[in-house]
Amino acid sequence: MKKAFNDARPILDTIEQHGYEAYFVGGAVRDFILERPINDVDITTSAMPDEIETIFERTIPIGKEHGTINVLYDDDQYEVTTYRTESDYVDHRRPDHVAFVRELKEDLKRRDFTINALAMDKDFQVVDYFEGKKDMRLRQIRAVGEPAERFTEDALRILRGVRFQSQLDFEIETHTFRGMAAQIHDIKYLSIERIVVELKKLFHGVAVEKALKSMNHLGAFNDIPVFKSFDMKRLKLSTPLSMDFVLAILKLQQGSVQLKPLKISNQELQTIQTYEKAIAQINAIQSKFDIDKLLFQIDIQCIYSIISKTDILKENDVLHVSPFIFNKQVVETRYAQLPITSFNDLAVNGHDLMTHLNQRGGPWIKATLNQIVDAILKRDIINDKDEILKWVKQHVEV
């Protein structure tokens, strides 16, 4: 786990050689202490942004006005940020301006939670001004300083706190939770993009059930677009899920809601729609043909994903099919026996149909291809061009 820090050590060495302080900081330090996987390593320093640009040959001023310079070293990039303090926040979202300082403690005390207000030097010695390590031992999330001030500055910190609860399976310290509750309505000032980032991580955390209770206790969903349209207390989550899957459950459980206000990608919208369609089809299964049609229409990995979440779907009363009719073994067996798994497998195409029937193109082609698929899946015909065209001539009216 030290590799990520050792890879970045030359950055700290170089800064220190020029007479400045430099430390690893934030989530990477927290995760190192907790022996969790480490992603990005961030660096904080007493050097000013202009000084960092002078020290290193290859830099990108990605957030220079806020003190952050990207330093390119070997094949990696490292965010190096100058110690800073922040002024009053605008609309509970962002500081009016930042001021650069030379003291590490001044930088750390502006951070959200004690477990994130940790710094570590290149020799793995931790600087802990706010008892973050103690809070880790107590498995609790506690605000740095006065909670009301932290959450008034940036209401996103409320959602971050609950997200950390979900990811780390920690409790939220009582005074901190009261501070969250006092400022909860300020989340309406946040951009939906920032909110969605936190919710995705929250729903996918190991303690999502605990975090969901906190969100409901705070009334947080009441100020979040789309989610405020659902009765979130009806949602039961005992295992980590993607937000796509959560939204599919909510829509199946409580009715369709327009998702555009979430500003999620078209791919995510399509995934949610596919989950909804697949679960609805699974609930309607009456025969082996229904299973085969489902497996033809829906990606097999999507089906396996749904099967793996059978318990939680039943707990939310959105999956009603008997496990004796539909289960993984049945799916594997039926899928292995499918004569075709997509339209690309068909021995005929639209051009073949137009030529054989001497017809122009039109909606009839899609309808006919669907009829052919059904006939093949029912084993009325085999997937052979001549046999299909003969069957079409006898059974399809154009």
Q: How far apart are CA 298 and CA 80, in angstroms?
A: 46
At which residue do the structure tokens 């936190």 appear? 198
Type of residue numbered 69: I
Integer angstrom CA distances of residue 45 from 83, 97, 228, 257, 294: 6, 19, 42, 47, 57
130: number of CA atoms within 13 Å, CB side?
23
How many residues in the chain? 398
Residue positions forming the annotated binding site for Mg(2+): 40, 42
The DSSP string of 61-72 is EEEGGGTEEEEE
Question: Which residue positions form the known binding site for CTP?
Answer: 27, 30, 111, 154, 157, 160, 163
Annotated binding site for ATP: 27, 30, 111, 154, 157, 160, 163
By the 8 A CB rule, do 219 and 197 touch? no
The closest of 250, 311, 257 to 275, measured between CA atoms, is: 250
Q: Which residue positions form the known binding site? A: 27, 30, 40, 42, 111, 154, 157, 160, 163
Terminal Cα-to-Cα distance of the chain (whole angstroms): 67
Tokens matching residue 186: 């300020």
Question: In Å, how far are 233, 245, 271, 324 from 171, measured between CA atoms?
Answer: 20, 26, 33, 40
Give the chain's radius of gyration (CA, Å).
28
Token couple for 171? 């409790």
How many Å apart are CA 349 and CA 235, to the nearest integer? Answer: 45
Q: Tokens for 60?
A: 């990108």
